[in-house]
Chains A and B, each alone.
Chain A
Amino acid sequence: MDKAYRTIGKSILRTDAVDKVKGLAAFSADIDLSSPPLVLKVFRSGIPHAKIIKIHTEKALAIEGVLRVFTAKDIPGKNLLGIINKDQPLLAADKVRSAADAVALVAAETEEAALKALDAISVEYEKLPAVFSPEDAMAADAPLIHPKGNQLAARFVKKGDVEAIFQQCASVIERTYRTSMVEHNYLEPDAGIGYLDVDGTLVIYASTQNPHYDHKEIVTLLGVPDDKVRIIQATTGGGFGSKLDLNTQGFIGLALYHLKRAVRCVYTREEAYLATAKRHPLTIHMKTGADATGRLRALRAKIICDTGAYGSYGIAVMSRAAVHATGPYAFEAIDVESLCIYTNNPFCGAMRGFGTPQIAFAHESQIDLHAEDLKIDPLQIRLLNALRPGSETATGQVLTHSVGISQCIEAIRPYYESAISQWATAEHHPYKKRGIGVGAMWYGIGNTGVQNPSTARVEMDLSGAVTLYTGCADIGQGSTTILTQILAETLGLSPEQINVVAADTQFTTNAGATSASRQTYISGNAVKDAADKLSDVLRTEAVNKLRVSKKSLVFADGCVAVATNHEKCVDLASLAKRIHAKGAPLVWQGYFDPETVPLSPTDGQGIPYGTYAFACQMAQVVVDVLTGEITVERIVAAHDVGKAIHPENVKGQICGGTAMGIGFALMEEFKPGETKSMKDYVLPTSMDMPEVIPIIIESHEPSGPFGAKGVGEPALIPTAPAILNAISRALNQRIYTLPANLERVLDASIQSGHFAGRKK
């Protein structure tokens, strides 16, 4: 099949790699303007919950080099941000809800002056009682963080009679799982720079995952016409979800609006830690029942998401966790309640997987517990229950195509069997225990049960040169390369022949967020749609010249040619000129929105996603029973991506996701108030990485571009469950709280009698 493709399925050179290895790619903090920009610094509350009585900025304004100190009253438009629910002011007006809340914004000539000004600002507060756990926030007498109450939202997914089925189950398992707050720790701290264009447009270069959303928010914040703000995504040093929120962009917009001078805002790592979104810590109560053969039948879950002071993507996390609670398995009956709760913690937002990594820890532990209970092999029980074409999901969606979970599990099997027969039994240190664990997952591509279209424009000029205009922000994952490949393939060009204009709101239309593993599938389809339209006019025109039917024409090396005889061809430039002369368009807009049906608010029934990615990973883990240290020796990761448009990119996502999964499993925990700098937050280094064996499974998705789905988030999801199941197998003692850090692993070792007992 691949042989038919010119570039799809080939690991071509990335469009951005050469600039990046030369150190020439300009990230927001690297961009130089003709004159030095003003420095922006944010004054933050430092206290978790209080009414603002008065903000004193006089002393700060008196400092030499300080131009302005902005507060909420300087915001000309609507001072309320949020992509799903609007609840977060850019600058706090009447109260602060977390220690990171921005209260004032300093603009100064120099960094030194700006920092001095921060020290000189003081705020009179009336302190309010604060709550730091969802349990406390849900108490009857809890202080109200937002006026409508501390429960932001709820999602229910219900189908069948769960209780009746539990009665019939041979194995019923009920446990509570907890996951930690996690910091994204993209390598580039948030930054942006802005200047006023000659025509008065506010131009902002920013480190962002969603320039069109930034645009909309800033226009509303400032109350200016759409064409007065232009957002351009600078080279962006990773995001993982946190750069979906407005981080520095709003501050830059506000200062530009008032001062009409170039400004720069660069967060230190400490500020990025303090002020940007985190991964939601979840508490998951889960009860599942299986029959004696291991077939899963009923699931009940209560999920509580701590969204901190603001919603951000909290509602998406809550919903996605609920919808994915079954894992990639078929159940007869489901009863899931998922709540999103405000607290005075740092706000939590999107992070790679939107609640799915958390819920996968629960469903994968449950299925292993059933396997242990019923003495079934962990791989076998997953295979038995795996979704397949024709299966109905928890939301009542019948899957028809591209359900590659069984293939993923089967792809793991040879590694799994040889690990059991050779690695696990090999001679090793008496105080080290070896364990093999499996984790599987499914992940709906795109946003949950809501429209989330993408658009793209493809333009051919009279020389036949093709330019792609896409709003899609490449944050390092490689989407620009992928979209270029899709376009090149459709028009029979080499990828390097395509010009790309990306993520600039003045020249590109909305492609939606770089999130939810959606850009290959959704923006890829939008690009393909535009390319197909252009392809159609080109081939139609070629019919006139070549005098054969349109369906016998193909694209080949910059020409349209007769499929059976490439010698008979016409070049794109001639076609372009002829089309143009007729007044027919050479510019085409593409559009794609996956077919979804909104979920019912009462029982969550509906069609949340157009397609799903699937994966199964295996972890080989060595536990030091004396110290609680874990060494992950190998991860085998099989991922069904539909079609790998760029296999090395897919592998890069799998290996990178695995690394993040190892962090989530074993070490990462953001502690508000304690975790301040990278000294306080441990994430995996090169020494913590095992051998990773990525396996690409391609179960063609008919609605995807060339059959592709997505991989960005799926890469991370099965890793922690696989590792935790491996630890459990090694120690015969399960850990229910992430991360499985030194303390928890050593405790498990002691509980299981391995510590002093030298059990073999």
Chain B
Amino acid sequence: MTDGVVRDQNGNLSKQIGKYKVSVIREKCIAAASCVAIAPGVFKLDEEQIATVISQDGNDDETKLLAAQSCPTAAIVVIDTTTGKQVWPLIE
């Protein structure tokens, strides 16, 4: 059981990468680009000015979740790959 914290081989803390998988609901995207600003290693706007995932490992999980939470239209879905459960948006 981990709390999302990982350590490198020397025991130093490093931020978790790869537990969260993100995807974009294209129809919801309004090109506000907060995801791009927060997690530029994961998101960019494509030719149609719609957010797209360029890499799941470009930023740590905490940053990916923050990018999803910052999306004004809840267009970014975050799945915890270890449980298969949707982390964001919250399922009410």
Q: Is the pairing of A and B real?
A: no
Chain B residues within CB distance 8 Å of chain A:
none
